[in-house]
Structure 1
Amino acid sequence: MNFAFEQPALLWALPLALLPLLPRRVRTVPISTLDHLAAAGRSWRTRLAALEPVVALATLLLLILALAGPVAFTENQRVIRRGIDLMLVLDISASMGAADIPPDRLSVARAAAAEFIAGRSNDRVGVVLFAGIPYLLAPPTLERAPLLARLAAIEPDRQGSGTAVGDALAAAAARLAGSDAASRAVILLTDGSNNRGHLTPVAAARAAAALGIRIYSIGYGTSSGAPVPLASPAPLLRESLHPEPLREIARLTGGRYFPASDASTLREVYRQIDALETSPLETRVERRATPLAPALALAAALLLGLELLLWRCWLRRVP
């Protein structure tokens, strides 16, 4: 705790508080002898009368200090975790219905994403889904319940409409472009290569990099691929992972590429991203000023009242 005065020049008046201690001329009444008073000793009224200069000194001292405007300052430090803005870009193309990661790729990806989102309580998180075209499931938000409910309801596209990775990245970057968050990042999860849309993934990554947005790309699946269930009567297709474009996307934006071929690996990937994208800490110092003048003035008033009551009325000298 620190102290300061609003009118420090008034402190020069503190020596005036010593005035009550200076010798004063006292009017006396001549009497023949004081021997009988000395034999009686000092009464409690006499002892109280001796305290009058001390009380007067304290009253003046408190009054001068109150007029000087003393203020007590207390400082509290608060550590605030500033949230970041994240967009999850999740592939829901037909290949995400493959059962090589039981019960199927999308179910495992959905559960891992939900666990990641629930753990980022300080961050705004949004989701873009994509197959042949991207669409916004939720903009960046702190509301977890509605976002997780929507995420739990998604299903893979059984029509085989393709995989528009570039357009999906561009849609996510556009959502983050106007953000004022301390950090912005996109997490892309896909199990296939770009075969639809207007933008290539590399072009979208360059645009994101220009906006200062990092992309973490997750290559989901295996290089051998898996049968893709499509709506009847379409035949089964086989989709295999092509990691090179995903590595390039991450490199261009300052992110990282992660392969994930099963549920445990995918959860570990999200844990690594969670560790990389830490929310920055901000220390705020709150300074609180407490005026002390009212308390000092009240104390001076009480002492003045005591002085008037005791030494000007009850113990008044009558020479």
Structure 2
Amino acid sequence: MSLTWPWALAALLGVPLLLVVRWWAARRRRRTAVRVASIALIRAALPGPSRWRRRLPALLFLAGLLSLGVATARPQASMAVPTNSTSILLALDVSTSMCSTDVEPDRLTAAQAAAREFITTQDDGTRIGLVAFSGIAGLLVPPTSDHGDLLAAIDELTTARGTAIGMAILTSIDAIADVNSAVAPTGVDPAVDAAVEQPDTIVVLTDGANSQGVDPVTAAEQAAARGVRVYTIGFGTTEPAPMVCRANQVQPGAAFGGGERFRGSRLQQIDEPTLQEVAELTGGEYFRAEDAEQLTDVLTGLPASIELQRRPVEITVWFVLAAMLLTALAVALSLRWNPATALPVVTPAARRN
């Protein structure tokens, strides 16, 4: 728990001051005690309440004052954000290296299957958006709870040359800004307090390194300034393997002579240091997946990590309510258990002492 106005806790000093006043009043009351020859008669006439009945209302009243004193400092608690308040942007690498067959049947097909599994396991109210990137990045599906549109877009993914990881992050930020007014779009300086953690998340899946466009770390700084977390996934092995792009995996007229089958072989290196830095800058996490099963486990396990993210929520009203309830209970018990009593009495024996 944190406090917006910690200096307001000075109001709690009123509690010990009240105790001092009560102690002083009790001393004065003893001086004006009625002197009687025998206290037995008074006890018989006025059976006093038990000790805990005398003290409990006072303790409840003090607890109410303490709760009200804390409320003046405007306490905040870290609370989980509901899933339906979160937008998750999936940014999938569709560069030609995703045709590599080191992952069966190939990286793109495995990534599509894992993305479909991720989407179908989400709650119906979860908003998910889809960004695809190669040499450029484009928003295919804005954040939506209509998972049918997402699944259809994933099935139609095709590859092209280049890897623009930084552009994918910026495109995802703009997609989030369209549905969350607290997130400023790229090109607009975020407000001073905009770095408060947002419930929205970007998940970047890539099998290589940034080859053009904005540097991923620069893009990550933009996300961090807006309180948007970025989770990164490095996909594929480091072993050379044939790249076989089927006709339906290549953008028509955009690569390899109009969507023909393409074959090649090369070692594709994942820029893990950059992906780790991107995640650390934004409060996300980096994952490594070398096969289809690992990728599916990473993606389907992400919601647990995302839901663990928390935001500060002011809980002043709960402290005020607690103070009101405690005070009301103290008054009620005091009236029931401790009605108005006579002045304290002093026996002759006590007077002699």
Instruction: Indicate the TM-score class for this superposition, using the shorter chain for normalisation.
Output: 0.5 to 0.7
- How far residue 152 of structure 1 moved from its aligned partner, in angstroms, is 1.2
- Picking from 260, 271, 279, the partner of 1:250 is 279
**2:199 aligns to what?**
183
**Quick one: which amino acid aligns to residue 202 of structure 1?**
V
SS at match of 2:307: coil
**1:140 aligns to what?**
143
**1:99 aligns to what?**
101
Cα 1:82–1:153 change in 2 (3 A) is: closer
**1:275 aligns to what?**
304
Distance between the aligned counterparts of 1:186 and 1:174, measured in 2? 11
Alignment size in residue pairs? 202
Cα 1:99–1:210 change in 2 (3 A) is: same
- How far residue 274 of structure 1 moved from its aligned partner, in angstroms, is 1.6
SS at match of 1:89: strand
* 1:206-236 residue CA offsets vs partner (Å, 9 max, x unmatched): 0011111100000001233433346379772
Tell me if 1:123 matches 2:126: yes
- How far residue 82 of structure 1 moved from its aligned partner, in angstroms, is 3.7
**1:192 aligns to what?**
208
Distance between the aligned counterparts of 1:235 and 1:262, measured in 2? 21
Distance between the aligned counterparts of 1:196 and 1:236, measured in 2? 21
**Quick one: which amino acid aligns to residue 107 of structure 1?**
T
**Quick one: which amino acid aligns to residue 104 of structure 1?**
D
Distance between the aligned counterparts of 1:180 and 1:155, measured in 2? 32
**Larger C-alpha radius of gyration, 1 or 2?**
1
Asked whether the equivalents of residues 242 and 263 of structure 2 are also in contact (C-alpha less than 8 Å), the reply is: no
SS at match of 1:277: helix
Q: Which has the higher strand share?
A: 1
**1:224 aligns to what?**
239
- How far residue 126 of structure 1 moved from its aligned partner, in angstroms, is 0.4
- How far residue 190 of structure 1 moved from its aligned partner, in angstroms, is 0.2
SS at match of 1:129: strand
Tell me if 1:266 matches 2:266: no
Distance between the aligned counterparts of 1:193 and 1:201, measured in 2? 9
Cα 1:235–1:271 change in 2 (3 A) is: closer
- How far residue 168 of structure 1 moved from its aligned partner, in angstroms, is 1.1
Asked whether the equivalents of residues 188 and 215 of structure 1 are also in contact (C-alpha less than 8 Å), the reply is: yes
Cα 1:82–1:233 change in 2 (3 A) is: closer
**Quick one: which amino acid aligns to residue 156 of structure 1?**
T
Distance between the aligned counterparts of 1:235 and 1:101, measured in 2? 15
Distance between the aligned counterparts of 1:211 and 1:98, measured in 2? 35
* 1:229-285 residue CA offsets vs partner (Å, 9 max, x unmatched): 463797724222221111011000000000000011111111331211128899xxx
Distance between the aligned counterparts of 2:104 and 2:118, measured in 1? 20
Distance between the aligned counterparts of 1:204 and 1:155, measured in 2? 24
Distance between the aligned counterparts of 1:187 and 1:225, measured in 2? 26
Distance between the aligned counterparts of 2:219 and 2:307, measured in 1? 24
- How far residue 194 of structure 1 moved from its aligned partner, in angstroms, is 0.4
Cα 1:227–1:81 change in 2 (3 A) is: closer
SS at match of 2:142: strand
| Worse-superposed segment, 168-177 or 180-189 | 180-189
**2:154 aligns to what?**
151
Asked whether the equivalents of residues 220 and 282 of structure 2 are also in contact (C-alpha less than 8 Å), the reply is: yes
Cα 1:260–1:225 change in 2 (3 A) is: farther
TM-score of the two chains, using structure 1 as the length reference: 0.58
**1:236 aligns to what?**
264
**Quick one: which amino acid aligns to residue 144 of structure 2?**
T
TM-score of the two chains, using structure 2 as the length reference: 0.53
- Picking from 217, 221, 224, the partner of 1:206 is 221
Asked whether the equivalents of residues 214 and 253 of structure 1 are also in contact (C-alpha less than 8 Å), the reply is: yes
* 1:114-155 residue CA offsets vs partner (Å, 9 max, x unmatched): 111122222110000011111111010111112211111212
Distance between the aligned counterparts of 1:120 and 1:140, measured in 2? 13
**Quick one: which amino acid aligns to residue 165 of structure 1?**
I
